[in-house]
Amino acid sequence: MRRFARSFLALSVLGLAVMSGGAAEAAATEKVKVCYRAHVAGKGWMEWNCDGQFAGTVGENRAIEAMEIQVWGRGYFCANAHIRNVGWETPHGECVASGQVKRVGTVGQAQPMEAVSVTLSYGSLEGIGQVQDIGWIGPFRGTRVEVGTTGKGKNLELVTLKIIG
């Protein structure tokens, strides 16, 4: 009986280890990262960039008109665009689940974005921008970052985003 009890206990412990390892492995497969791309005036959709790479242009005086943003490993995230002569698209931004693409701004309407806001359900983000006639702004850090300006009539020309915590 003791031998059976020891074997059962060993199998139970092994079973728990396998289950724990499986859960840890499943959680680890969703890498924490942020990817994004910009729709730029006169150029259209640019390539996808991730984790601090540039999205947009520098020195070309071209506004970002829309962005697509995708975040992994932070639950859900929310995004919003401040559009010239319109304001913020929605009062608090719209939220999507991890791994989904959220589009903000407009395409084909020649309406420049002045700012973009991204909020994580948890963790921290860093954002840096390039604004018309102002230059580099940021870095902005927190669970919610707003990159760009509002009410100044200045184009957001470039954005970088990265998860920092």
Closest CA to 133 of 115, 151, 153, 117: 153
Neighbours of 42 (CB within 10 A): 11
Q: What is the mean predicted confidence (pLDDT) over 88-114?
A: 93
Measured CA distances, 21 to 17, 30, 31, 61 (Å):
6, 15, 17, 51
Dihedral, CA of residue 150, residue 126, residue 43 and residue 58, to nearest 10: 80
* Residue 37, burial from CB neighbour count under 10 angstroms (0-12, 13-18, 19+): buried
What pLDDT does 140 receive?
97
Strand partners, 158: 56, 130
Retrieve residue 107's tokens. Answer: 């395409």
| 30 or 76, higher pLDDT | 76
What pLDDT does 3 receive?
43
Retrieve residue 103's tokens. Answer: 């589009």
Radius of gyration of the chain (CA): 21
What pLDDT does 29 receive?
53
Q: What is the mean predicted confidence (pLDDT) over 107-121?
A: 96
Q: Lowest-confidence range among 3-17, 52-66, 108-122? A: 3-17
Q: What is the mean predicted confidence (pLDDT) over 82-90?
A: 94
Does pLDDT of 14 surpass 70?
no
Does pLDDT of 90 surpass 50?
yes
pLDDT confidence tier of residue 55, bands split at 50, 70 and 90:
very high
| For the chain, the helix, strand and coil percentages under 3-state DSSP, each to the nearest 5 | 15, 45, 35
